[in-house]
Chains A and B, each alone.
Chain A
Amino acid sequence: MGVPEVAGGGVADTGASPSRPLEIAFAVLALTLGLAMLVGARTIGVRNETGGMDPRTWPTVIAVGILASAGWMAFNAVTGRRSERDVDSATRSGWVQMAVTVAMIAAVLVLWQVGLSFLVLAPLFIIVCNLAYGLRGLVPLVVFPATITLLLFLVFQLLLKVPL
């Protein structure tokens, strides 16, 4: 779905361009993760040493697997293989909208933890998100949030007895 057709039958290529530095950075990150897991696996405390396969063995095998795949990725990145990315390119407005969305989720979780009801937070969340996504008017800013909140109340609070 990376190339939506536009009016007139043309095709707008929105695919993300390949990036070797990004691939190398990711491989380095994966290598670090593998090393961290290997160290973590070897330092797992075992109460009864029985020999053979103990609680450390399986995580060690996985850490070695992560290191091997990260090494393979690093080799591919350095030799210029497989750098194509099968994703759409991000837009500048997309970054802003995503930042707003993540910030709103974080704010909702904090306020919910503080004690505010989710039934109050949910409509506010939808309204702010819809504003950030460029939606205006009665339906996206009033009707939609109100309907969803009512649905949440009926399904979760009343039917499933989930304390929101």
Chain B
Amino acid sequence: MNPIQQGIDALVLDPTALLCMAIGLGLGLLVGLFPGITISMAVALATGFTLTLEPAQGLAMLLSIYVAAQYGDRIPSILVNTPGTPAAVATTLDGYPMAKNGQGGLALSISAIATTVGILMSMVVFMTLAQPIASLALKFGPFEMFALVCFGLTIIISIASRSVAKGLLGGMIGLGLATVGLDPITADPRFTFGSQEMTGGFDFIALIIGLFGITEVLDQVLTYHASRVRPISSLGRWWPNRHEMKRVAKPMALSGLLGIGIGIVPAAGGDIAGLIGWNRAKAISKHPEEFGKGSIEGLVGADTASSSTLGGALTTTLSLGIPGDSVMAIMIESMVIWGIQPGPSLFERRPDLVVTIATIMIVATLISTVVSLARTRAMTKLLDLRPQFIWGVILVFCVVGVYATTNNVMTVVQMVLFGLLGLGFRRLGVPAGPVVLGFILGPLAEANLRRALLIDDLGGFLTRPIAIVLILLAIASLVWPVVRDARNKRRPVAAEGLVE
């Protein structure tokens, strides 16, 4: 059987995979709907359930959450002016004003359509670009791989944090946590303090659920401020007319392409893409004065760009083995636990799995579109639920999810400690993304550097153009935010940001 047929069959002929997809879609829509539950947190929690499943089944659940949350998070952005996830920040700029103007229904429908177009556009790029990129990456030696890992890490540091110093610290701590255990080559114990239990190193699931789940809940408990805002209930008409569809076509295409480009950059996610897409849509609009006051073009620009990062992130993750965003970081580790190594060789060893992933993404997108257009009215009623209801429940699922992976309470203790550490980091401005990425990429970086230095000395980098370019890009991604901030300080008016 050819890999394409095999890949599609792994999803459509397996009732368990379809059930996992249905559960993932339901969870994703709910996750997006409740502000405060991030997609990373939901996917991290779901890994506790999926590790015992077959790869196609587990991926069906994780990727469906990833896709469906892109739809759910637009609802509170439009009706309550509160983004369901960070990726929907730019949706509030025109979505909420539209709802206040009595066009809530139209905003919800057009947002769902823009999201669908964005994801499908990005999947076309994934299907055409991922394999050529992977083929190119297969030619990389240890010098190039080490440089690529450095670039992946530094780019997330510069993007995820307001302070490069704190982002760098987070990345270094992640790298440091990954050194605990036995040395990968000589098997000498490092930082185990004589404990047999620590020779295996820290548990990845405990780390991600601690940093994304426990930290998130504890931070919400700590900072909850009651707000009296009520969802807008008068939604008006739902369907866009022909004139409106014609008006949004151009910003939709432009923002979609922008989002794809941003998604390919490791760690640059929907939040950044949404704001840039909104800004570009304004720049090409005949009615820029309407932006921020309920412009349908602004809404489409933000949502298409934000959602089209998905295919780009997937391309980087699968073809290079470098996570495109924090959800993809979790996905990479889940795949490793299933015995699959994402990266260039995946396209040679398991082409069927790549097809399965693309099929899941496309089917999940189409189902999410139908559900969003048909059931949004009912879903808006859930916005009345108080967040306190879900805090305790999430904590219970964090505990059980982590316990299920090892059947060992000590792994749960690790998770709680990582959660408290993450809370401290968050309060002090250290982002979780670089910590997780450092933990994942650390062993890869060390192994490639050691291999490279067996072949040649450090001067070997200078004889390899790709490695030089990647190292220079890594340095630039750390230096650029510092230079930009210094320039913005000198020009305070220009530093007002993207959205005036």
Q: Is B35's beta carbon under 8 Å from chain A?
A: yes
- Which residues on B sit within 8 Å (CB–CB) of A7? 228-230
Q: In the bound complex, how far is the Cα of B446 from the Cα of A4, in angstroms?
A: 44
Residues of B within 8 A of A88 (CB): 219, 223, 225
* B169 nearest CB neighbor, chain A only: A69
Chain A residues near B222 (CB, 8 Å)? 90-91, 94-95, 97-98
Is B221 a contact of A126 with CB atoms below 8 Å?
Answer: no
Q: Tell me which of B25-33, B58-66, B244-252, B401-409 binds A.
A: B401-409
When C-beta atoms are compared, the residue in chain A nearest to B80 turns out to be: A5
B190 x A59 contact (CB < 8 A): yes
Q: Which of B109-117, B290-298, B369-377, B386-394 contacts A (4 or more CB under 8 A)?
A: B386-394
* Distance (whole angstroms) from the CB of B73 to the closest CB of chain A: 12
**Interface size grouping (class) on chain A:** 35 or more
Task: Enumerate chain A residues within 8 angstroms of B450, measured Cβ to Cβ.
Answer: 53, 58
Query: CB within 8 Å of B: which of A43-96?
Result: 44-48, 52-55, 58-59, 62-63, 65-66, 68-70, 72-73, 76, 82, 84-91, 94-95
Verify A66–B172 contact, CB threshold 8 A.
Answer: yes
Q: Is A22 a contact of B428 with CB atoms below 8 Å?
A: yes
Q: Give the distance in Å from the alpha carbon of A31 to the alpha carbon of B222 in the complex.
A: 27
Binary contact track B146-182/A, C-beta < 8 Å → 1, others 0 = 0000000000000000111110110011011001000
Interchain CB contact under 8 A, A58 and B169 = no
- Closest CB of chain A to B432's CB: distance in Å? 13
Query: Which A residues touch B400, using CB under 8 A?
Result: 118, 122, 152, 156, 162, 164
Q: Please, could you name 13 A-B residue pairs with CB atoms under 8 Å apart, sorted by A? A: A44-B190, A44-B191, A45-B189, A46-B186, A53-B450, A63-B176, A65-B168, A73-B165, A73-B169, A90-B223, A109-B409, A109-B413, A162-B403
Extra pairs beyond A53-B450, A76-B163 (15, CB < 8 Å): A4-B225, A16-B427, A33-B173, A44-B188, A46-B188, A58-B179, A65-B168, A69-B168, A69-B172, A85-B428, A88-B219, A90-B223, A97-B222, A106-B416, A130-B392
Give B contacts to A, CB under 8 Å.
35-36, 49, 52, 81-83, 162-166, 168-169, 172-173, 175-176, 179, 183, 185-186, 188-191, 217-219, 221-225, 227-230, 386, 388-389, 391-393, 395-396, 399-400, 403-404, 407, 409, 412-413, 416, 420, 426-429, 446, 449-450, 453-454
